[in-house]
Structure 1
Amino acid sequence: MRADLCLVMDQGSHYCRAKVYDRLGTCLSWGKVPVKTQLTPPNRAEQHPQSVLIALKQASLEAISKLTRDQRRHLRTSALVTQRASTLCWDADNGKALTPILCWQDQRGLAYIEELMPLASMIRQLTGLYPNVHLAASKLRWCMEHMTANNPKHRIRGGPISAWLIKQLVHEQPDLIDGVTAARTMLYSLKDRNWHPELVELLQLPDSLLPKVRFSQFHFGTLKLPGLSLPLDFVSSDQAAALFAFGEPSQDNLHIHLGSGGFMNRALTERGLHPQERLLHHLILAAKQPLYSAEAIISGASNALDWAFNHCRPGSQQIDEWAAHYTDPPLFMNMVAGVGSPYWQPLERSCWLNDAGDPKAQMVAVMESIVFLICRNLKAMSALPPAKQIIIDGQASQYDSLCQRVADLSGLPVLRYEQHDITGLGAAWQTLPNSLRQMQADTTFQPTTNPALQQRYGVWLESFDQHLKSLNE
């Protein structure tokens, strides 16, 4: 049992990754292949389905090729984790993609969300989700109205990318989806643990469109890769899988992932909806005994830094060095990719206050804006029992200055692990029987007194609220 290995395939915004883990969480080999996203102003973000599929297969074969012969003999199972909101439609008979992949940033379905806002309270009671354009439901509606009109409706399947990848990757070619990803569509009933007919009808989608829902831990089929036959025994979303990286999620921990967008999760011990309606009630394990978390969304995280590097052109990426030098940076109203919780403002209207004009100071300001959005969402989570520590990962977490500011403003220790890719680690823990985790944080940032930062946050928060109010008037 100790020698059993698991292949974890991970489909992300910028890369498809694959890693092989043992049950202690040791990564024995890995593969990584970039994928492109086509951004077309004002509201489109697409990926080519076949490019993503090929990249995921290439990453998997690369990871497997790095194993020794003895290690390959101990590969027992596989897992798939994907982005939750990336959505497409396909032919039910042959699996051929009928649309591009509409990525999480894609906002062309916004008009449908605006139509549903009078029903926001009802939708949240049924799904746990506050209606927003990032979810799959509006993307499916748009695809059905604009891209699949020439196809017989009974032959069209659609949903998050995980369902299409299952159909493409396993020999049996089923139309299946895991409950965790299904719950993120705004079409899934938390009570019934299945598609909700009234929500499907509300979005004007055909009954036959959606794949069948299964638990996360389920035999989805036999993975077909050259020279390899392996059961696919676990499918989930990236953010949900990451919460299991160090074992069973604890309510003591606040998990922050800073990828292209940012995600903050607190495991919940109560089954009912948490009291803050503008946070998301997120299913993190679809099983006989489901688990949930309270989730906040930060639209402008690492993508905000990428935007700043392109616009400010500071010449390098030494944010930690600049943060030590520029102790009173300007304030940045971060609306890159819109604004997530608790505001849910889809428009991109970023701007500067008291702009110093120095590109390096501007970079520090963008970094601080991510910290401020984190702390604004911490305030929204205040009805929950207080967390004891923060676990942070993702691209932007590499900056010590960001992590230290999160600790200073939150008053909580911030733990950062050397193994930054905790998504695959969490999927492996749930897939391999009797998995164990005995990992220590690589760096812990203890909170310190920082009155200047507190003052900037107070000014930023008041200005940000006023900025959003002016846009809505």
Structure 2
Amino acid sequence: MRSDLCLVMDQGSHSSRAMVFDRLGNCLSQGQVQVKTRFTQPNRAEQQPDDLVISLKRAALEAVSKLKREDRAKLRTAALITQRSSILCWDADNGQPLTPIISWQDRRGFHYIEDLMPLASMVRQLTGLYPNAHLPASKLRWCMEHMTFNTAKHRIRGGPVAGWLIKQLVHEQPDLIDGVNAARTMLFSLKDRNWHPELLDLFKLPDSLLPKVRPSKYNFGTLKLPGLSLPLNFVSGDQAAALFAFGEPSQDNLYINLGSGGFMNRVLTERGLHPQERILHHLILADKQPLYSAEATINGAANALDWAFNICRPESHDIDSWAEKCTDPPLFMNMVGGVGSPYWHSLERPCWINDCNDSEARLVAVMESIAFLIYRNIKAMSSLPPAKQIVIGGGISRLNSLCQRVSDLSGLPVQRYEQHEITSLGAAWQVLPNSVRDIQPETTFHPEANLPLEQRYQSWLEAFNDHLSSLSE
């Protein structure tokens, strides 16, 4: 029995997607429209605001148009999922964008973060975040100091892209933001669950800039599309939503979601900080009973493979078959997009060590570097109770060789589900009443003894630490 249906709009780095789910987690239809990110030096990555909102509407209309007429009548609610750390500024009166969308991959504000580091412990106590240039606060300060606004100061709004998309997509055009996206800014107090005046002062941002914070589950307004009117009842960040894909997230699991970047989460029920200060402590559900996670980040995931394919230009993309025959790949210093936890190094200096002319071996090395960064962060999170298994999703989780290496290094079974669009599925689970999740893993990778892989990891770890040290000197 399908009963009520939900439209989930998911705005990501490479595309805008829309999917229609029933309460059993079945995807009945979907639409997808590619979006472009413009990379320029130094450290800049931007998207065009109009491209994002148009692509999201087109994807939603495509998904709805593919439904049977009787199913279209069962649509009851909508959800919006976005990149958490992409930002822009807009006019509060008419919603017109005042800046490009500055991508989460953009690091133009890194010098503000360097100046802030003596206060890193204080910032982390308030926000749960370790200061880094991928987070929105430094980007917003850069905009306020470098952009020219032909708008009265009190009309300037700025913040995560979710706030602007809410204003563009719903009839009421409010200036609102959900707590999960707000918590990612480095301007939000986990204790008060609101913007913190001291943090605004620290980044020299006016009180009037930011939208009002609301819970993730909230009536944000009425989504208006041609022939369709739905309440927008849930807004959240991509990685937070993904944790709910198969029901209430469990403290027994380590969740890994591998998109352009990679994110690893262990669910926590209390606000207390993870003892490793360079692991993020994040709000994953902004509600009356908030839920938190310890989060590690890997900047170079699918984007690292894209970077390497552009350089190596192999004849195919069959990494799994290459991994089977490549017994001694080189080591890849994965700094694509900078280095996330637990290092937080903003410079981008990727390279191969013990390099060779074999493009297939070089790409296997990039794939292994993702597994190595995952394992390095597992070690950094070791003060938490041990996980019993890993649940993995996202585009490059389809690589069997990557999943098996993660299992071999961690000593944990790795479960992968057939439905790998877990972000949208998690949002649907939040808003459809009486949702049922009885989805079994498509594949479970069991740990195997792999001494050569362990030895390559140790060699990689030493070389990676030396590489970072040389860049810091």
TM norm. shorter chain > 0.5: yes
Distance 1:149 1:11 in 2: 26
Q: Residue 186 of structure 1 corresponds to which residue in structure 2?
A: 186
Q: Secondary structure at the match of 2:134?
A: coil
8 Å CA contact 1:200–1:207 kept in 2: the answer is yes
User: AA paired with 1:323?
Assistant: A
8 Å CA contact 2:77–2:431 kept in 1: the answer is yes
1:336 equivalenced with 2:342 (yes/no): no
1:432 equivalenced with 2:432 (yes/no): yes
- Residues 383-402 of structure 1 mapped to structure 2, 5 A cutoff: 383-402=383-402
8 Å CA contact 1:33–1:56 kept in 2: the answer is yes
Q: Residue 422 of structure 1 corresponds to which residue in structure 2?
A: 422
Q: Residue 98 of structure 1 corresponds to which residue in structure 2?
A: 98
Q: Secondary structure at the match of 2:16?
A: strand
Deviation at 1:2, TM superposition (A): 4.8
Q: Residue 409 of structure 2 corresponds to which residue in structure 1?
A: 409
Q: Residue 115 of structure 2 corresponds to which residue in structure 1?
A: 115
Deviations 1:94-148 (A, max 9, x none): 0000000000111111111111111000000000000000101111111111114
User: AA paired with 2:47?
Assistant: Q
Structure 1 stretches of at least 4 aligned residues deviating more than 6 Å after TM superposition: none
Deviations 1:403-458 (A, max 9, x none): 00000000000111111100010000001111110001111100000000000001
8 Å CA contact 2:190–2:271 kept in 1: the answer is no
Q: Residue 465 of structure 2 corresponds to which residue in structure 1?
A: 465
Count, aligned residues: 473
Q: Secondary structure at the match of 2:36?
A: coil
Deviation at 1:153, TM superposition (A): 1.3
Deviations 1:298-328 (A, max 9, x none): 0111111011101111221111111111111
User: AA paired with 2:223?
Assistant: L
User: AA paired with 1:93?
Assistant: D
User: AA paired with 2:49?
Assistant: P
Deviations 1:140-183 (A, max 9, x none): 11111111444321010000000000000000000000000000
8 Å CA contact 1:99–1:148 kept in 2: the answer is no
TM-score (norm 1): 0.99
Deviation at 1:356, TM superposition (A): 2.1
Q: Residue 154 of structure 1 corresponds to which residue in structure 2?
A: 154
Q: Secondary structure at the match of 1:220?
A: coil
1:203 equivalenced with 2:178 (yes/no): no
1:271 equivalenced with 2:260 (yes/no): no
8 Å CA contact 1:254–1:391 kept in 2: the answer is yes
Distance 1:267 1:188 in 2: 20
Q: Residue 282 of structure 2 corresponds to which residue in structure 1?
A: 282
Q: Secondary structure at the match of 1:32?
A: strand
Distance 1:237 1:399 in 2: 25
8 Å CA contact 2:128–2:280 kept in 1: the answer is yes
User: AA paired with 1:50?
Assistant: D
Distance 2:294 2:83 in 1: 18
Q: Residue 351 of structure 1 corresponds to which residue in structure 2?
A: 351
1:124 equivalenced with 2:124 (yes/no): yes
User: AA paired with 2:287?
Assistant: A
8 Å CA contact 1:299–1:336 kept in 2: the answer is yes
1:365 equivalenced with 2:365 (yes/no): yes
Deviation at 1:351, TM superposition (A): 1.6
Q: Residue 81 of structure 1 corresponds to which residue in structure 2?
A: 81
8 Å CA contact 2:17–2:30 kept in 1: the answer is yes
1:319 equivalenced with 2:355 (yes/no): no
Distance 1:34 1:144 in 2: 30
Q: Secondary structure at the match of 1:224?
A: strand
Q: Secondary structure at the match of 2:42?
A: coil
Q: Residue 142 of structure 2 corresponds to which residue in structure 1?
A: 142
Deviations 1:373-408 (A, max 9, x none): 000000000000010111111121111111000000
User: AA paired with 1:263?
Assistant: F
User: AA paired with 1:204?
Assistant: K
Q: Residue 24 of structure 2 corresponds to which residue in structure 1?
A: 24
Distance 1:353 1:143 in 2: 38
Distance 2:204 2:447 in 1: 50
Distance 1:139 1:431 in 2: 32
Q: Secondary structure at the match of 1:257?
A: strand
Deviations 1:50-108 (A, max 9, x none): 01000000000000001111111110000000000010000000000000000011111
Deviations 1:178-231 (A, max 9, x none): 000000000000000000011011110111000000000000000010111110
Deviation at 1:269, TM superposition (A): 3.0
Question: Any stretches of 5+ residues in structure 2 without a counterpart?
Answer: none
Distance 1:45 1:421 in 2: 24
Deviations 1:334-390 (A, max 9, x none): 111110000000101112211122111101101100100000000000000010111
Q: Residue 34 of structure 1 corresponds to which residue in structure 2?
A: 34
User: AA paired with 2:391?
Assistant: I
Q: Secondary structure at the match of 2:296?
A: strand
Distance 1:307 1:210 in 2: 35
- Residues 160-175 of structure 1 mapped to structure 2, 5 A cutoff: 160-175=160-175
User: AA paired with 2:446?
Assistant: Q
Q: Residue 258 of structure 2 corresponds to which residue in structure 1?
A: 258
- Distance change (3 Å), C-alpha of 1:321 and 1:2: closer
User: AA paired with 2:231?
Assistant: P
8 Å CA contact 1:39–1:46 kept in 2: the answer is yes
Most deviating of 68-77 and 120-129: 68-77
Distance 2:142 2:81 in 1: 25
Q: Residue 236 of structure 2 corresponds to which residue in structure 1?
A: 236
Q: Residue 13 of structure 1 corresponds to which residue in structure 2?
A: 13
User: AA paired with 1:94?
Assistant: N
Distance 1:2 1:148 in 2: 51
Q: Residue 298 of structure 2 corresponds to which residue in structure 1?
A: 298
Question: Any stretches of 5+ residues in structure 1 without a counterpart?
Answer: none
8 Å CA contact 1:153–1:206 kept in 2: the answer is no
Q: Residue 69 of structure 1 corresponds to which residue in structure 2?
A: 69
Distance 2:379 2:211 in 1: 37
TM-score (norm 2): 0.99
**How many percent of aligned residue pairs carry the same amino acid?**
75
8 Å CA contact 1:180–1:286 kept in 2: the answer is yes
1:225 equivalenced with 2:217 (yes/no): no
Q: Residue 450 of structure 2 corresponds to which residue in structure 1?
A: 450
Distance 2:268 2:9 in 1: 27
